[in-house]
Each structure stands twice: as structure tokens, then as C-alpha cells.
Amino acid sequence: MKKLFAVALLIAFLGSASGYAQTIEITRNASTPSIPGGKEYFTGRVVVDPLYPATAQTGATTGLVTFAPGARTAWHTHPAGQLLIVQSGKGWVQQDGQARQVINPGDVIWIPANTRHWHGATANNGMSHIAVSYMKDGQNVIWKEQVTDKQYNPE
């Protein structure tokens, strides 16, 4: 029995150290349920689809974030930055103290570390983007207060 356990351990070790780790890993579309964006971090209807986790090799979580018209993140910062790749629709991004900017499909946005900002859909159109959020000390986002309607759309 003890021997069997030792063999099982050995197989598990070899599996994680060489076999498994060296096999191409395909995560199929919609194999993980979508996650509704929490009320404390978002305004309006937001859905997050996790795509790939942070690992020693990626150093970042990768996900698809979909915003309904009018929906947006709260103000926040990223301790190690974030890369956004707009997939569909039309969105807005705003850095604190600067003008709001329109983002469209194919646009790529780099959010530097520790830069206070928000992003989301425009008032009349939804928007989705891939988000690559880099980890620092186990964290990839620091949430602040909500974006008011006046801040979101001053027009």
C-alpha cells in the first residue's frame, strides 16, 4: 500500500514536472461560465469571461470583458499595468485629469502602472475588450470609488 502511494506520487510529480507541463493546453470557448461584474466594482451590466490565468510564465490574468451601453468600471489602478485589445462595439477610457477618449475595435490600450482611470461602453453602444492584467505581489487591480453619471458622460 505504501509502495503504491509512492508510485502514485512519482507519477503525479512526473506529470506536473514534464509530461503535463509540456502538452499544448486548449481551453475551449465557453467551457467556463461567464461571471457577472460585481456591483461594487462596476456600474451597469458587465460580464467577465476568464480566458487564461496568471501563471509563472504569463504573469497576468487574461479575460474578455463585455460592457452593456452605459456600463463602466469604477475608478481603479493596476499595480503592474494592463493591456486592453478592443474586440467589438464602441467604448470610452478616461485617465483622471485628462479628457475621455473613444476606443474602437482593433485599438490597443496600455494602462501604465498606478494610473487612475476607468473604461467602459459608450452611452449608446456596448463594448468588449480583452484585458491582460499584470500581477504584482498577488494583485492586478486596486479598486476606488464608482464613476458618477456626470463623470461618465458630462455632455
Q: Which residues bind to a copy of itself, rule: CB under 8 A?
A: 21-30, 51-52, 57-59, 62, 80-81, 83, 85-86, 93, 95, 98, 101, 103-115, 117, 130, 132, 134
Measured at the CA of 88, the angle between CA 86 and CA 90, to 5 degrees, comes to 85
* Closest CB 149 distance from a copy of itself, rounded Å: 22
* Closest CB 16 distance from a copy of itself, rounded Å: 12
Closest to a copy of itself by CB, 57 or 124:
57
Residue 75: all three cell numbers together: 475608478
Closest to a copy of itself by CB, 68 or 80:
80
Alpha-carbon radius of gyration of the chain: 19
Helix (H, G, I), strand (E, B) or coil at 141: coil
Is-contact 93 100, C-beta < 8 A?
yes
How far is 12 from 1, CA to CA, in rounded Å?
A: 17
* Closest CB 11 distance from a copy of itself, rounded Å: 19
